[in-house]
Amino acid sequence: MRFNAKELVTLAQQASNKFDKEGILFVTEKQDGFFKQREVSTEKFCRLRGNLLFYFKSIDQFSEPQGVIVLEKFTVTTYTTHKEHDGFVFYLEFNDGLKQRLACHTEMERSDWIQAIKLASYEVIRAQMHTLREQIEKKRGNRQDVDVELVRVQQNKEIDINEIPLCEVSFQCDNLLCDAHGRPPNPSIVVHVRNSNAAGWIKYGRTEIVENSSNPHFNCTFQFRNGDGLNSATKIRFTAFDVREKLSKTAVPMGSAEIPLALIQETTRIRIPLQHLGVTKGFLSVTSWAPEEDKKTLRSPAKKLETPQKLGHRRSQSLPPKLGVKLFVPPHLKLNLLFANPVMRTYRLQSGLGGDISVHELMAESKFTFLVPQQLLNIWIAREKELLQEISGMGELGGIWRNKQMQLLDKHLKLLKDYSQAKQNLQQCNGKFFKASTKKADESLEFAPINLHLQRMWAHNNTLKRSGCLDVITVGAFTRHAGKTKTGGLIKLLHQLKDTPTRGDANTHKVQAANDAVQSIKTLRKEIVEIMSQLLLLAKTKNPKGMLPLCNEMIAKTRSLLTIWEPGLVQETFEFIEMHRIIEEPDNNSPFKKITQQLGDLDLKSPYLEDFATPMGPVPDLWPKSKESASSANAITPSPSSDLTKIESIQDNVKNFGQKSSDEIMSCSLPPSSIHFDTENANSIDKKSETNSIQETHFDVSGDVIEGSICENGTAENTGKSINFYL
């Protein structure tokens, strides 16, 4: 595979003065032979530039480039000092296991190539840059520029979006000097502030970069705020930089100027020279806008006419002499109740005859980044508790249904544990409102959205008295980045589930219909109880108005409830449960009973399972707790960590109980004995007279007996095969 082949060829064929080293090397390559590949050392012309080692097809430097070796994450190794058949050999050993063999004519050439290659990697260049930076800081007296955002974080302060700033300034430069080749600079202005009691300068911000201009006009403006500790005595330093490379922000200082903030507040426009080493490199014009002060009082309703500002200037014949007399502060109102950690930027854009347009851009983090996922997890946790209550509420089942019951308990306990752990992780993010994209693979925060923030832009034209606002909520893709399997995304899984052909079995449709009926009954029952509560409240306050519509609505919902509640379906359900449920003795402390008691300690009462609930009576306790749990009722709210410990303990018990049941079935099924069993007279069998009691009955998933069928009257219909029971 080739990347940027044309660009690399052009780079390899440039002049020799742009390369760090060039010469002839023996490059070992693999060539295809008749039976197998063989390594051949070929003499080639090579050139080194940065971390790229180019090699050509022959020893001629004007031949076509053949390939390039990227010198990163490698070491240079020499195994022998003696000369081999093709010269003095050294190896480039990369961290991924690859190895490249090279050779030179003389030992001195090998030493020169090794030294040049060792200095070519990016890591070495970065270390050199770090060393030079430390030397510069040492000469400066270890004075480091601190960013204002870092100061706000250290002082635990946020920008007050409704605060009126001291003033707003914009910049324009003129007569900036060109470089030695006569090319105009790429200027950018960096603003630093310093209070009288402060130790050093604080970087307040920087403008955009205007390319190839000696007289640039910057659209970025700055608002000096009292909330940052600025006052009239604050020193302001403006430094103009010539940005040579945008990506790394490599810049050369052109000149700087220092003035107090009071001078900016007093004048509308000021032009100051930019000096560097005592030489003027250009001029900087600072235009300021201050908030208007209302000079009217109750005792002096009239005031003198203000004298026109003589410092105003006309930039062109099409613009008014004053380009923004008023300082525009957008009304964000109560935005800080929903968002936090705002970042603001301001701009002034020229718009021709209509005057300047003041633009305010704001970015803020949503306070619901970690709250909404917690509410969603609460819903899922309540659902898992409801399912656990339904599964264990049927009692202990026998046969293959016991294994399926244990599997369902284990599955939903695992989900309950995962949801509880995720909720606990989100609760620990108190005071944080943002999940960066660098943490998208963090499993502890997989339920939190990525890069969720608000982007608001206000635009205001003071001359036309018009303004507009645009809000954009930005968020990353809702993808399970922490997942270790590639499933194609949630939408693909939903489509696969929808397109999966369902079995046309009558039992499957019956189970689905029963599930839909149960869900509808729950909803109608809850609505009926709420209507009854409203009726009782109206009767208590002796207010007959509104009772008749509520009664009609309750009657309609009750009729719908009775229509859905089919007696045949209910009777069949209870017959199935009674057929397969194991009746426990009160004194028998079975493993399933212990699991039920532990589930009761988890407080699994679901608001959607208010069985036999009435508006006047409390919900019955369907979860009898053990004596130990009843005695330890001092704790008001259990901690999430204690719940996780209980869930893990229940999971272990469920797994052990399920494994024990499987072992019993396997031991009892060797060998199985086939007998004919009369289901009508099954209840008349004396259990005490039997030497071998029936322990397990083998049923399939749909509830039918294998090798036979159940008739409508409940007897076993003989189909020519005996019904297998494992004795």
275 & 150 share domain: yes
Determine, yes or no, domain membership for 381.
Answer: no
Tell me the CATH number at 49.
2.30.29.30
pLDDT higher than 50, residue 1: no
What is the mean predicted confidence (pLDDT) over 262-286?
92
At 208 the pLDDT is: 94
Share of the chain above pLDDT 90, in %: 33
Query: What is the model's pLDDT at position 149?
Result: 86
One domain, residues 150 and 113: no
| Tokens, residue 269 | 């426009």
Co-location of 197 and 78 in the same domain: no
Summarised one tens digit per residue, pLDDT across range 204-229 is 999 999 999 999 999 999 999 998 88
Count of Cβ atoms closer than 10 Å to residue 354 Cβ:
15
Q: Taking the alpha carbons of 301, 302, 303, 308 in that order, is the dihedral positive or negative?
A: positive
**Is 160 a domain residue?**
yes
Confidence bin at 309 (pLDDT 50/70/90): very low
> Which pair of structure tokens corresponds to residue 8?
């690399």
Contacts 24+ apart (CB under 8 A), 347-350: 347/219, 347/220, 347/221, 348/170, 348/219, 348/221, 348/323, 348/324, 349/219, 350/319
Q: Is the pLDDT of residue 134 over 80?
A: yes
Residue 418 · residue 643 · CB < 8 Å: no
- Predicted confidence band of residue 272 (pLDDT cuts 50, 70, 90): very high
CA distance 449 to 456: 19
| Integer Cα distance of 22 and 65 in angstroms | 13
**Does 97 score more than 70 pLDDT?**
yes
Any domain includes 477: no
pLDDT of residue 159 exceeding 70, the answer is yes
Q: Which domain holds residue 689?
A: 669-727
Q: Kindly tell me if the per-residue pLDDT of 32 is higher than 50.
A: yes
Round to whole Å and give the CA distance between 370 and 424: 11
> Confidence class of residue 455 from pLDDT cuts 50, 70 and 90?
very high
| Mean per-residue pLDDT, 544-571 | 86
384-398 mean pLDDT = 82
Average pLDDT over residues 288-302: 57
Q: Taking a C-beta distance cutoff of 8 angstroms, is the pair 166, 226 a contact? A: yes
Respond yes or no on whether the N-terminal peptide bond of residue 65 is cis (omega within 30° of 0). Answer: no
Residue with tokens 């994450």: 73
Per-residue model confidence as pLDDT tens digits over 685-700: 343 333 333 333 333 3
Indicate the pLDDT class of residue 280, thresholds 50, 70 and 90.
very high
Considering the domain boundaries, does residue 416 fall inside one?
A: no
Per-residue tokens: 350: 């020229």
pLDDT digits (tens, 9 = 90+) for 232-241: 999 999 999 9
pLDDT score at 93? 92
| Whether residue 279 sits in one domain with residue 184 | yes
- Tell whether 246 is covered by a domain: yes
The residue among 289, 306, 324 that closes a domain is: 289
Burial 473-511 (b: 16+ CB within 10 A, else e): eeeeeeeeeeeeeeeeeeeeeeeeeeeeeeeeeeeeeee
- Over residues 254-283, the mean pLDDT reads 92
Would residue 195 count as lying in a domain?
yes
Could you say which of 255, 289, 323 is where a domain stops?
289
Give the pLDDT of residue 218. Answer: 94
Which tens digits make up the pLDDT trace of 658-671?
666 555 544 444 44
Question: Are 164 and 95 in a shared domain?
Answer: no
Binning pLDDT at 50, 70 and 90, where does residue 452 land? Answer: very high
- Which amino acid, one-letter code, is at 466? R
| Residues 265 and 214 sit within 8 Å (Cβ to Cβ) | no
pLDDT at position 695? 34
Mean of pLDDT values over 672-694: 38
Domain count, the chain: 3
Question: How far is it, in rounded angstroms, from Cα 593 to Cα 626?
Answer: 10
Q: Is the pLDDT of residue 626 over 70?
A: no
Confidence of residue 143 (pLDDT cuts 50, 70, 90): low
pLDDT in tens, 418-432: 999 999 999 998 888
Q: How far apart are CA 724 and CA 714, in angstroms?
A: 17
pLDDT score recorded for residue 555:
92
Q: Does one domain contain both 65 and 174?
A: no
Residues 379 and 423 sit within 8 Å (Cβ to Cβ): no
pLDDT at 273 over 70: yes
17 and 58 inside one domain:
yes
Does residue 249 sit in the same domain as residue 116?
no
Q: Are residues 36 and 165 in the same domain?
A: no
> What's the whole-number mean pLDDT along residues 532-537?
90
* Domain final position from 260, 289, 318: 289
Helices (H), 500-639: 506-540, 547-564, 567-580, 591-601, 627-631
- Phi, psi angle pair for 284, to nearest 5°: -125, 125
- Residue 179: pLDDT band (50, 70, 90) is confident
- CA dist 432 → 363, 427, 448, 475 (Å): 16, 10, 11, 16
pTM score > 0.75 for this model?
A: no
- pLDDT at position 360 is 93
Which of 420, 341, 417 is CA-nearest to residue 377?
420
Indicate if 95 and 16 belong to the same structural domain: yes
Q: How does residue 500 score in pLDDT terms, banded at 50, 70 and 90?
A: low
pLDDT for 181: 85
Q: Identify the pLDDT of residue 568.
A: 81
* Percent of the chain topping pLDDT 70: 72
Q: Output the average pLDDT for the chain.
A: 77
Residue 57 belongs to some domain of the structure: yes
Residues 114 and 215 occupy one common structural domain: no
Output the CA angle 127-135-235, nearest 5 degrees: 120
**Could you tell me the CATH number of the domain that includes residue 204?**
2.60.40.150
Q: Kindly state whether residue 19 falls inside one of the protein's structural domains.
A: yes
**Band (186; pLDDT cuts 50, 70, 90):** very high
Q: Are residues 27 and 61 in the same domain?
A: yes
Q: Residue 291: which residues within 8 A CB-CB, separation 6 or more?
A: 164, 165, 167, 327, 329
